[in-house]
Amino acid sequence: MAAASVALVAGVLSAPAAQADSKGDIRITKVVVNHGKNVVVGTSGRFTYPIAVTVKDNHGVKGLTRVSTFSRDHLLGFAAWTGTSCKETSATTSVCTATMTIDPAWAPVLTDKVNRVAGVWVVNADAKAKDGDFCEGDGIASYKVKRASRLTIDATPQQVAKNGTLTVKGKLTRANWETLKNPGFAGQTVRLQFKKSGTSSYSTVKTVTTDSTGRLSAKVKITASGTWRWSFSGTTTTAAGSSTGNSVKLK
CA 112 to chain centre: 21
Distances (CA, A) of 103 to 23, 40, 61, 107, 244: 36, 12, 31, 8, 26
Domains and CATH numbers, the chain: 21-147 (2.60.40.10), 149-250 (2.60.40.730)
pLDDT given at position 19: 36
**Whole-number mean pLDDT of the chain?**
91
Query: What mean pLDDT comes out for the span 49-66?
Result: 97
CA–CA gap between residue 181 and residue 229 (Å, rounded): 24
What are φ and ψ of residue 110, in 5° steps? -65, -55
Which pLDDT score, from 0 to 100, does residue 20 have?
Answer: 58
For 124-162, the pLDDT digits (tens) are: 999 999 999 999 999 999 999 999 999 999 999 999 999
The mean pLDDT value for 87-105 works out to 97
- For the chain, give the percent of residues with pLDDT over 90: 88
Q: Is residue 173 pLDDT above 80, yes or no?
A: yes
Question: Reduced to 3 states, what is the DSSP secondary structure of residue 78?
Answer: coil
| Sign of the dihedral defined by the CA atoms of residues 15, 19, 22, 25, in that order | positive
- Which pLDDT score is estimated for 140? 95
Q: What share of the chain is helix, strand, coil (3-state, %, to 5)?
A: 10, 55, 35
Q: Comparing 191 with 15, which gets the higher pLDDT?
A: 191
> Peptide bond preceding 157: is omega within 30 degrees of 0, i.e. cis?
yes
pTM of the complete model: 0.88
